[in-house]
Amino acid sequence: MTTPPAPTSPSLADLRELTPARVGLGRSGASLPTDALLSFTLDHARARDAVHAAFDVSGIAAGLAGLGITPLEVSSQAHSRRDYLRRPDLGRMLDSASRRSLETCGITTCPCAIVIGDGLSPTAVNVHAVELIRHLVPRLAADKIDAGAVIAASGARVALGDEIGAIVGARMLVLLIGERPGLSAPDSLGAYLTFAPRIGLTDADRNCISNIHHAGLSYAEAAFRISWLVREGLARQITGVALKDESGGGSSRNALPGCDKSDT
C-alpha cells in the first residue's frame, strides 16, 4: 500500500496568488526590493490620479443615450475638486441652481431614481456606471420597477442623494458613486440604496454594495443584488440595517447595511 505524500504548507507564493494585498514582498537589506517599491509607487499614483480625475458627465450622458436614457445634470455646492476634498459638507448639498432645476423638472414622484455621482473616484464612475446601468435597468423592468429619473451629480458625496431623492419624490434611491481608491483598486464603484430618501438620514438607513470593478463584483452580479434590494426594500418599505441581503448572490461582504467606502 502506497503511503500518500504528506501535505505541504502553503507558501508565500501561494498566498500571493489568492490576494492583491501586499504580502511576502521580501526585502533588500533593510528596505523593500526595487520591484515591490516601484509597484507600490505606481499604484499610489494611480489612486491619487483617480481622486483628481475629471468627472466625464458628457461621456456618461452619451453612453446613457445609447440606452434611451437622458440624465438630468446637477451639482453640489463643491464647485471645485479642491473644495470637494477640503469641505465634505459642501458635497452633501445641492447648489441653488441645481435645486431649482430639479424642482421645476416636472418629476414629483417616481418609484426609483438613479443618481450617478463622481465621489472619491470619478475614474470608477466614468468606467463602470453606464455598463452597470445597462445590466440594472432590464432587471428593474422585469420586476415592474421604473427608473423614473436618472441624474448625474457632480461633486457628490453619498448624502447628496438624500436631497435629490426627496425633491423628485423617489420611493427608492440608487446612488452609484466612486469609492475611496485603494492601492489595489483605484476604480471601484459603490451602490447605495435608500428607501424614502430625505435630508438627515445616516448610513444606517442605507444598504451598500461595494467593490464593483473588473477584478471585483461583476456588473451582472451587482445588478442582480441591487435589483433584489430595490424590490425587497420597496415591498418592505425599509433599507439599511433593517434589510439584510438575502438574494443568495455572491459574498455577503460586498453588500452591507450602512457600509461606507465613499466617505459620506
- What average pLDDT does this structure show over 150-177? 98
**CB 57 within 8 Å of CB 152:** yes
Name the average pLDDT for the chain: 91
Residue 179 counted as an annotated binding residue: yes
158 is in an annotated binding site: yes
In a domain, residue 17? The reply is: no
Q: Identify the domain containing residue 182 by its residue range.
A: 55-236
- Is there a domain that residue 23 lies in? no
Query: How many structural domains are present in the chain?
Result: 1
Residue 188 inside a domain? The answer is yes
Between these two residues, 29 and 223, which has the higher pLDDT value? 223
User: Percent of the chain having pLDDT more than 90?
Assistant: 76
Helix (H) or strand (E) holding 140: helix 122-142
Please report, for the domain that includes residue 173, its CATH number.
3.40.50.11240
In a domain, 106, yes or no: yes
Distance CA 125, CA 190 (A): 9
* Residue 39, domain member (yes or no): no
Q: Tell me, yes or no, whether 253 lies in a domain.
A: no
pTM: 0.88
Q: Binning pLDDT at 50, 70 and 90, where does residue 243 land? A: very high
